[in-house]
Structure 1
């Protein structure tokens, strides 16, 4: 039998791991907020306790850090839809949808998603992360061609699939074509190939060259999968729909927890694709179904996104902030509603984020491992519900905070 000292050696020294993160400036903590709104109070991390919003440090902040792009997460219409579903269907699905958790709330949502995405059918998952890892693994490709800046859930899906993974340079259609040509030269012709990319990249604010991606895939008979997490609800039919590529992208994936203001993820595509995922996507088969109130709220969020001017308001706010930040000397990456303000050094980015917070603007520093060590940034995310006063306050905060820390 192993003695006590051996057992201790075989355990996990998590305190040491946390200390290492602390020394490297990579340790993070939770900062609870009181509500999901453009303005909210925040409290210090209470650890395992309940946050106290009347405590020191819980001043009200303007939130420019959420993915709630259309400002729907706190919308009364979504709350009413969720409450009605909770009353009519139940608070939780109660089981996997293959057992007894498949409800009318799920089916109504999926019909609306399929219509929005120009697809035969859609399938709701408990999260966008679950949709990615489950779908890629269920497709079981021999080779995945993956953009180098794809989301961590795509990376983990590739790992779970046990495919050969070819990483191509970010948003570079030529690099993708070259990688596919090399693989075609060196491999058997009966391999199954999958090209996977985000549409809008959440840390760079740019958009994948989907026409090039589709053309490269079609040349080799590969399938294309596009993760529209940060485009769902923001563009009509996502970027895929906006560019009329529904017939060229076999797998359209998105989330319900960002612009649609609810919770969950989905895949849209052919009837056969969805039937296969129902049977083979482990994150769907072996997981309790999405909560019916979340499904109903997401459906209402999708309706509002399609039938109101919130998209236009979001894009106007993003353009106003981009112009204002640029005029003040900051370098803003990308071309979308996501505004990454490039800083570079990690310590400078953290200092700028802290200075913004002291001016009641919440826009955290993004640092390794999310971005490279020399490309730290502040990720600014306006919403459709930010008014002109909020935008001006954000710009004023950046200007004075930048002077305080010596940036830009």
Structure 2
């Protein structure tokens, strides 16, 4: 399973590093390698959250996530999307933006491509911060089967019964961020944050509608099959009718979940793309290095799903969402203040590591309790004899 899941990642890594060495020499090889490691370290929590969504999709869409999704992640989110952001925020024509990206020494209004992208950070941070904040809020406010930090999660679940509370909190947070962090960029921050909120509500809402329709179809089909068992000759169940709309609904639900994952990936990749210019000003080196890292994140996501890791370590999902909440705050604060990428990466790793350790301790307690119960039953049976 490991090689089957990570095979493409290993192959692309080798091909990418060899190409980097041939094109840019030893220095280019090192830069691409560092960028790949940076992307993996910053986005590990992204893989865990992706896995919570991907496990709701069938194997076909999991393959789409690993193939088409990788192309979108590498060329769309890490190459074309930054170009679009620079064009929109700096009011530069697409041709000029491409020229700036291809020639790191060229400038427009005295700024290079990397500097223009950094200048667009308030809009990027507001969009991604609010989108990620909504993911965290919807998780922390919903009813859960397991509680990691009970003293926080149980009270928040109670107030989470209020309708649209997460959206209200996000809007208040956006207003505070625009007031205290944006200064001259307040209008841009508000607009970008509202777009982030609208994107989350739209994509997540549509996927939820189609998932609900799919569940209704499954329930109806189960009821018809049960009737068929009663009406069939000799008690034989009637064959389900082919071409049911459940397949189409599943496809729609999976499609919008796929879009949700791509926007989630974009939100996670913003800080990595901007921070990458501190390592290299060559857009192709950045795309190649971050693309290799993105490939591993996708492979790790699928591996977690196929291995059932989230079911075995029940607090991992909690840790990933707390990391998302922390990243959302960091993005909003970074509208005004520069936050080192290493801080972002370490916070995510810390939450994931703590959640994994707590899950392992819980599993040991459960196993010990099961052994104690089994021993008590054996003792009771022996006493009866």
TM-score by length of 2: 0.30
More helix by share: 2
Relative contact order, higher structure (CA 8 A, sep 6+): 2
More strand by share: 1
TM-score by length of 1: 0.28
